[in-house]
Amino acid sequence: MQIIGEAVIDGARVKKACATVEISFRSYLRWKAGRLEDKRKGAVKTIPRKLSEAERAKFYSQSNSERFRDMTPEQIVAILCEEGTYHGSERTLYRILREKKALASRTESRKPGPSRKPPELTATGPNQVWSWDITWLRTDVKGIFHYAYVVIDVFSRAIVGWSVEDCESPEHAQKLFERIISRLGARPQFVHADNGGPMRGVSLARSSHEAFDADVFGPD
């Protein structure tokens, strides 16, 4: 600024003098007005209310506690404020979690791994592999459905059993399988289904029914 001032006294234009010493004219005006802080991107800044390392560690530790580790920063800060505790803002907590690489998951569960393709079930004869599903059937009343439970033999593609019920229920599915096994006198080696609630219910309840012992169900 002193050199630019001397140049201006000698008759130079301010903008030309700034360009000669490679200083932005706007920076020169800022410095002349007494605003000497560095506002460039990435410059070291002084934050008066910045949390200390101990305060940041306490904030991070509390957000990872069993109580808060499944909540968002907004929820954590709001709950703490209601209880009379304030460590910092949501943005501060987001910055801390981002630095710790803890934004994705803060639980103690295992990291997600690659999905594995389930083994393919093949049938070389009847009653080896059955597949079943539930189809919604429309009624005359909008929003009211019947549910068709259908079981097919993967080898022949024949429908070995079916029923129409008024709801989805593992109990309905169990009774259907019991009727099919009793009528055919045969038990499949595997029963294939998706991961729906009634499908999981049948698999979990098979040990309490004679028709659903460990020989009937293989991997879902």
Task: Tell me the mean pLDDT in the region 15-36.
Answer: 87
The residue count for the chain? 220
pLDDT in tens, 97-152: 888 888 776 665 666 677 777 778 888 999 999 999 999 999 998 889 999 999 99
Can you give the pTM of this predicted structure?
A: 0.42
Q: What is the pLDDT of residue 220?
A: 39
Strand duo 129-138 + 145-153: pairing: antiparallel
What is the rounded distance in angstroms from the CA atom of residue 65 to the CA atom of residue 104?
Answer: 15
Q: What is the pLDDT of residues 194-204, one digit of tens each?
A: 777 677 666 54
Task: Return the minimum-mean-pLDDT range out of 18-22, 80-84, 191-195.
Answer: 191-195
Hunting for tokens 């080696």 — which residue is that? 189
As a three-state string, the secondary structure of 111-163 is CCCCCCCCCCCCCCCCCCEEEEEEEEEECCCCCCEEEEEEEEECCCCCEEEEE
The single residue listed with the structure tokens 């710790």 is: 100
The residue written with tokens 């990872």 in the block is: 64
pLDDT at 150: 95
**Structure tokens belonging to residue 165:** 């019920």
d(CA 53, CA 127): 67
* Residue 157, token pair as written in the block: 């593609």
